[in-house]
Amino acid sequence: MNGDWLLRGRDGRLSVYLSAGDAVLCRAERAPGGPWSPARRVGGEQRLLGSCAVGQGPDRYAHLVSWRPTGSGEAGLVHSTHFRPRLAALDWVPVGHPDKKGAVTGTPAVAVDAQGRSHVFVRNRGGGVSMVAQKEKGGWDPWRDLKGSDVQDGLAAVTGESGRVQLYAAVPGGILHWRQEEPGAQPVLQEALEAPVRPGTLYALATSAESTTLFYTAESGDLCAWRPGSKPAALLPSAGPGPVRAVRCELDGHDCTLLAQRSASGRVAFAAYPTEQESAGAWWAESGPQLPADAGVSPAVDEDGRVVAATLSPSTGGLLLTRRKDEPGLALEAWREA
């Protein structure tokens, strides 16, 4: 899954999304903090291809994007909206192909603006990035070519606190950054950073009214944080080979950014630091059992403002969760199977 797959819905319930064969599945709490429902298929019986992207707007509706087969060796992107975790999601709606038709070109990314419009990004056949966005009153705009070249898979889309959408992409030896200047406008390529970045490690988070922060792993193995217009900062050595996930939360009265990553040992590693104050330093603390090799981790904040984290293994379907204890620091409850 590209994006945050552990979400808190409009009704306060937590839900998780996972790709499973030719489908996307969802599990949700029956009540906030309560037991979890069995997995349900999202978007009807449409057969899907490979990975899925998830995004969430300020209204807390989940937007999902995936590929579906359209013919021999050809595919197209489809979109679904999930309004509440316990309700059925809307059926998948075709949104086309960045090159009008052809095979799968890359893993999509999706971000939702302040008006609830989904913005879908994907590599195109030429190696750049294309985008399609929902209209405010229904339907979809035409596909737009955002340019770029040699873009690698693993786009990171994010909505800033302003409600405007931004996109990050890794290229050989660097990172590209696009940003909307006005709501509903086409994102414009703003900056190209020279950085030795490992493909597939980008993750973006809104960290202030003005900024979003991109986290990525450098070829040196350091986990770095970058806000466009400034220089990247090396935070700490990456805990493992996969992407980091992050969430803003309040810890002991301070606005903090919590990082979560599957460590090289197979457990979950957490690190926290004051938001946008990378110079304060951070360090990893491992938690929970050893996980399957394909397990991912995603943090969130529940209805009571407590940090919650989930791990999910596509091969086993195993879902484990933990919450922060009601005590100072980042002490976590024992991991439990849902």
The domains of the chain are located at: 242-338
Entry pTM? 0.96
pLDDT band for 50, please (50, 70, 90 cuts): confident
pLDDT band for 329, please (50, 70, 90 cuts): confident
Query: Any residues with CB less than 8 A from the CB of 214 and at least 6 apart, and which?
Result: 156, 168, 175, 177, 202, 203, 204, 225, 226, 227
pLDDT band for 242, please (50, 70, 90 cuts): confident
| Cβ atoms within 10 Å of 304's Cβ, excluding its own | 12
Helix (H, G, I), strand (E, B) or coil at 182: coil
- Take residue 223 and report the two structure tokens written for it: 């986990």
Average pLDDT over residues 231-250: 95
pLDDT for the residue numbered 336: 95
Rounded Cα–Cα distance for residues 248 and 116 (Å): 21
pLDDT for the residue numbered 105: 97
Per-residue pLDDT tens over the stretch 194-208: 999 999 999 999 999
Share of the chain above pLDDT 90, in %: 89
Per-residue pLDDT tens over the stretch 145-177: 999 999 999 999 999 999 999 999 999 999 999
- Take residue 102 and report the two structure tokens written for it: 């052809």
**pLDDT of 134 over the 90 cut:** yes
Element (H, E) at 136: none
